[in-house]
Structure 1
Amino acid sequence: MRPSSRHRSSRLRSVLGLASLLALTVTLPAAVPTPWQAGVAARKITPPGPIWLAGYANRSAPSSGVSLDLYAKALTFDDGRGGRVVIVTLDLIRLTVALRQHVEQEAGRRYGLKPQEILLNASHTHSGPEVAPDRMILERVFRQSAKPQDVAAVNAYEVFLKDTVVALIGESLSSLAPATLEFSQARAGFAMNRRRPEPKGGFSNNPNPAGPVDHDVPVLKVSGADRKIRALLFGYACHNTTLGGSLVSGDYAGHAQRDLQLAYPGATALFLTGCGGDQNPYPRANMVPGQQPEDLVQQHGRALANAVHSALAARLRPVQGPLRTAYGSALLHYEPLSREELGTFTPAQYTPEVVERARALTRLLDRGERPAPLPCPIQVLRFGGDLTLVAIAGEVVVDYSLRLKRELRGPAAVWVAGYSNDVFGYLGSRRVLEEGGYEGISANTRILNHPGRFTFDAEEAVIGKAHELLRQTQP
Structure 2
Amino acid sequence: MKFSVLLGSVLLISSFCSAQSRAPEWKAGVATRKLTPDGPIWLAGYANRTAPSDGVDLDVFAKALALDDGHGGRIVIVTLDLIGVPPELRAFAERESAQHFGLKPHELLLNASHTHSAPQVSPDRMVLERTFSRAAKTADVDAVNAFQTFLQRTVVDVIGESLQASAPARLEFNQARAGFAMNRRRLEPNGTYSNNPNPTGPVDHDVPVLRVIGADGKLRAVLFGYACHNTTLGGSRISGDYAGHAQRFLEAAHPGATALFMMGCGGDQNPYPRGAMVPGQPVEQLAEQHGRALANAVFTALAARPRPVPGPLRAALADALLDYEPLSAKELETFNATEHTPPILQRAQALRAALQKGERPAALPCPVQVVQFGPALTLVAIGGEVVVDYSLRIKRELKGEADVWVAGYSNHVFGYLGSRRVIEEGGYEGIGANIRILNHPGRFTFAAEDVIMAKVHELRRSLGP
Report the TM-score range of the alignment, normalised by the length of the smaller protein: over 0.9
- One-letter amino acid of the structure 1 residue matched with residue 303 of structure 2: A
Q: What is the match of residue 119 of structure 1?
A: 109
Q: What is the match of residue 150 of structure 2?
A: 160
Matched, 1:186 2:176: yes
- Measure how far apart 1:139 and its partner are: 2.9
Equivalent residue for 1:379, pick from 369, 373, 386: 369
Say if 1:425 and 1:448, in contact at 8 Å, map to a contact too.
no
Q: What is the match of residue 345 of structure 2?
A: 355
**CA distance in 2: counterparts of 1:450 and 1:83, whole angstroms:** 37
Matched, 1:272 2:259: no
- Measure how far apart 1:135 and its partner are: 2.2
% identical aligned pairs: 69
Structure 2: runs of 5+ lacking an equivalent: 1-16
Structure 1: runs of 5+ lacking an equivalent: 1-28
Say if 1:34 and 1:322, in contact at 8 Å, map to a contact too.
no
SS of 2:197's partner is coil
Q: What is the match of residue 276 of structure 2?
A: 286
Equivalent residue for 2:404, pick from 410, 414, 419: 414
- Measure how far apart 1:138 and its partner are: 4.7
Matched, 1:52 2:42: yes
Say if 2:29 and 2:164, in contact at 8 Å, map to a contact too.
yes
SS of 1:67's partner is coil
- One-letter amino acid of the structure 2 residue matched with residue 180 of structure 1: R
Q: What is the match of residue 240 of structure 1?
A: 230
Q: What is the match of residue 302 of structure 1?
A: 292
SS of 2:317's partner is strand
Alignment of 1:2-401 (within 5 A): 35-133=25-123, 135=125, 138-401=128-391
Q: Deviations over 1:109-168 (max 9, x none)?
A: 000000000000000000011111462675332222111111111111111000001111
Q: How many equivalent pairs are there?
A: 447
Say if 1:34 and 1:80, in contact at 8 Å, map to a contact too.
no
SS of 1:415's partner is strand
Say if 1:138 and 1:353, in contact at 8 Å, map to a contact too.
no
**CA distance in 1: counterparts of 2:239 and 2:128, whole angstroms:** 24
- Measure how far apart 1:188 and its partner are: 0.2
- Measure how far apart 1:201 and its partner are: 0.8
Give RMSD over aligned pairs.
1.4
Q: Return closer, same or farther for 1:171/1:353 CA change in 2, 3 Å cut-off.
A: same
**CA distance in 2: counterparts of 1:36 and 1:90, whole angstroms:** 24
TM-score under structure 1 normalisation? 0.92
Matched, 1:437 2:427: yes
Equivalent residue for 2:439, pick from 434, 441, 449: 449
**447-456 vs 157-166, which moves further:** 447-456
Matched, 1:469 2:455: no
List 4+ stretches of structure 1 deviating above 4 A.
Answer: 29-34
- One-letter amino acid of the structure 2 residue matched with residue 103 of structure 1: A
In terms of Rg, which structure is larger? 1
Say if 2:226 and 2:262, in contact at 8 Å, map to a contact too.
yes
Equivalent residue for 2:416, pick from 426, 449, 453: 426
- One-letter amino acid of the structure 2 residue matched with residue 244 of structure 1: G
